[in-house]
Amino acid sequence: MAEPAHKTGTEHPAEGGHGGFPPFQSQTYASQLIWLVVAFVLLYALMAKWALPRVGAILESRQKRIDDDIAAAGALKVQSDEAVAAYEKALADARARAQAIANETRETQAAAAEVRRKSLEDELNVKLADAEKTIAATKTAAMANVRGIAEDAARAIVERLIGTAPSDQAVTAAVADALKR
Amino acid sequence: MAADPIHQFRIIDLFPVAHIGHTEIVFTNSAAFMLAAVVVITAFLIIGTAKRSLVPSRLQSAAELSYEFVATTVRSTAGSEGMRFFPFVFTLFMFILTVNMIGLIPYTFTVTSHIIVTAALAITVFLTVLLYGLYRHGFHFFNLFVPKGVPIYILPLIVFIEVLSFVSRPISHSVRLFANMLAGHITLQVFAGFIILMGSAMGAIGWAGGILPFGMIVILMALETLVAFLQAYVFAILTCIYLNDAIHPGH
């Protein structure tokens, strides 16, 4: 109530307007209205032209910054995903190549081994055939010798038993007959 | 007399400005507090955003909060089309909030405790709604008074009620704010008066007993702070609802 202006200003008399209650003193209305219009229009202009666009721009720039950052993070994530995919692809390629090299090596090795085995086998077969031939020759020779020995032995035995030597034809026939049996 | 609860509402002439006809236009304490509110609001928003920081300071946070609070209110009640009235609603809300809050400071004057001020604001809203509604929708705007799906025989009654409620809007809109501010300040003044009364009547015991009404003032002060904010908010949100009628007149 100690409004400083109270002393210098003049109060509206209590009996003015519609009575003593200040809000109903109509002679104050014109001044209040005029100043309300002045204050309100001034405030509206300041808000609409200056303060609100300013605050709005700050909020907008922050929102834009956030959106940009999120977009950048998304782009980076795509990039890293791509890098991971490329890495995995390279890994798979390398693995496939290693597999291919291993297979190829294994095949060439197997082929070489097969070739060696074959030549060795052939060699052995040749040797075997040779050996069999030798055996057969030896056997034939031995068989021929056996016949001669048998004939000699038979002639000697017969000579010792009967005192006379049998004819060669008879001994040969007898031995051949015996060998046949 | 200090204990007169009406004294605080007096209009005090500071200096005359002009004459319009027989009426003298005077710069009053009311005008001073209106302009003070304009300065406080502008300073709050401009100084708060002076640095335009990405990470706001407290004051900038508060400035941004007031912006977003009103923007959200307008958008949720009047839709995104209502955002063309955002500066208007923001100005209304901040002006009423600030003069209410300044009025809570002892020895100050509460601009909104005068019916002529709240009535002028309410009529401004009413005319904005009416003129914008007619401008946007022409005579279709009056569909606002004709709800759909109402039987024809009670339609005249419904239309009468709708028109009545529409026309009485500025009255309730203005009286609500005016009466709340007036009653709150009178209550505070009456309880403050009790302290003086008890002190002067009963001496030391009276002054000690004055603690009771003083405690009451503390509680009422908290309540009045809430009311000061709430009435500004109610005024703003009702403005949004009325504007929504102008933008979308179909019920």
What is the DSSP code string of chain A? ---THHHHSEEPPTTSTTSS-GGG-GGGHHHHHHHHHHHHHHHHHHIIIIIHHHHHHHHHHHHHHHHHHHHHHHHHHHHHHHHHHHHHHHHHHHHHHHHHHHHHHHHHHHHHHHHHHHHHHHHHHHHHHHHHHHHHHHHHHHHHHHHHHHHHHHHHHHHHHHSSPPPHHHHHHHHHHHHH-
Residue A29 contacts B, CB cutoff 8 Å: yes
Question: Which of B71, B27, B99, B92 has its CA nearest to residue A44?
Answer: B92
- Contact list in B for residue A25 (CB cut-off 8 A) is 11
Comparing alpha-carbon positions, the chain A residue that sits nearest to B32 is A35
Residue B116 to residue B101: CA distance in whole angstroms: 19
At residue B171, does pLDDT exceed 70? Answer: yes
Ranking A9-18, A96-105, B208-217, B225-234 by mean pLDDT, the lowest is A9-18
Asked if the structure places residue B193 within a domain, the reply is yes
* Confidence label for A156 from pLDDT (cuts 50, 70 and 90): confident
ipTM value greater than 0.95: no
- Residue B28, phi then psi, degrees to nearest 5: -115, 175
- Looking at residue B22, its pLDDT comes to 80
Which residues form the domain of A90? 31-180
Instruction: Report yes or no: A34 and B27 within 8 Å, Cβ to Cβ.
Output: no
In a domain, B241, yes or no: yes
Average pLDDT, chain A: 86
Which candidate in A32, A34, A54, A63 is best for mutational testing of the B interface (most B CBs within 10 A)? A32
Band (pLDDT 50/70/90 cuts) for residue A3 is: very low
- What is the residue type of B102? I
Euclidean distance between CA atoms B181 and B234, whole angstroms: 13
As a whole number, mean pLDDT of residues B47-71 equals 91
Q: Token pair of B167, please?
A: 């026309």
Number of domains in chain A: 1
| Cα-only R_g, chain B | 22
Binary contact (B37, A47; C-beta < 8 A): no
Q: What is the pLDDT averaged over residues A86-98?
A: 96
- Report the side by side order of strands in the sheet with B12-20: A10-11, B12-20, B23-28
* Report field, pTM of the whole predicted structure over 0.80: no
Task: Test A65 with B37 for CB contact under 8 angstroms.
Answer: no
CA B83 to chain centre: 20
Domain that holds residue B68: 7-247
Neighbours of A90 (CB within 10 A): 10
Q: What is the pLDDT confidence band of residue B3, given thresholds at 50, 70 and 90?
A: low
Domain count of chain B? 1
> Looking at residue A17, what is its pLDDT?
42
- Domain assignment present for residue B135? The answer is yes
Note whether B52 contacts A: Cβ–Cβ < 8 A.
yes
Is A99 inside a domain boundary? yes
Would you call A32 and B116 a contact, using CB atoms and an 8 Å cutoff?
Answer: yes
**Nearest CA to B220 among B196, B172, B185?**
B185
- pLDDT above 60 (res B97): yes
A36: in domain = yes
B2 in a domain, yes or no? no
Q: Is residue B1 situated within a structural domain?
A: no
Task: Give A32's contacts in chain B (Cβ within 8 Å).
Answer: 11, 28, 30-31, 114, 116-117
Using only C-alpha atoms, chain A has a radius of gyration, in whole angstroms, of: 67
Residue B157 lies in a domain: yes
Chain A neighbours among B 92-151 (CB < 8 Å)? 94-95, 107, 109, 111, 113-117, 120-121, 124
Distance CA B189, CA B224 (A): 12
CB proximity A55 to B under 8 Å = yes
Contact A23 B30 (CB under 8 A): no
Distance of CA B250 to the CA centre of its chain: 28
Domain-located, residue A176: yes
Q: Are the beta carbons of A32 and B25 separated by less than 8 Å?
A: no
Residues in B closer than 8 angstroms to A4, CB to CB, are none
pLDDT score for A161: 86
What's residue B1's pLDDT? 42
Mean pLDDT of the region A124-132: 95
Q: Identify whether B85 is part of a domain.
A: yes
Å from B156 to nearest chain A CA? Answer: 37
Per-residue pLDDT at A19 exceeds 90: no
Residue B61 within a domain: yes
With a cut of 50, say whether residue A1 has pLDDT above it.
no
CB A23 within 8 A of CB A15: no
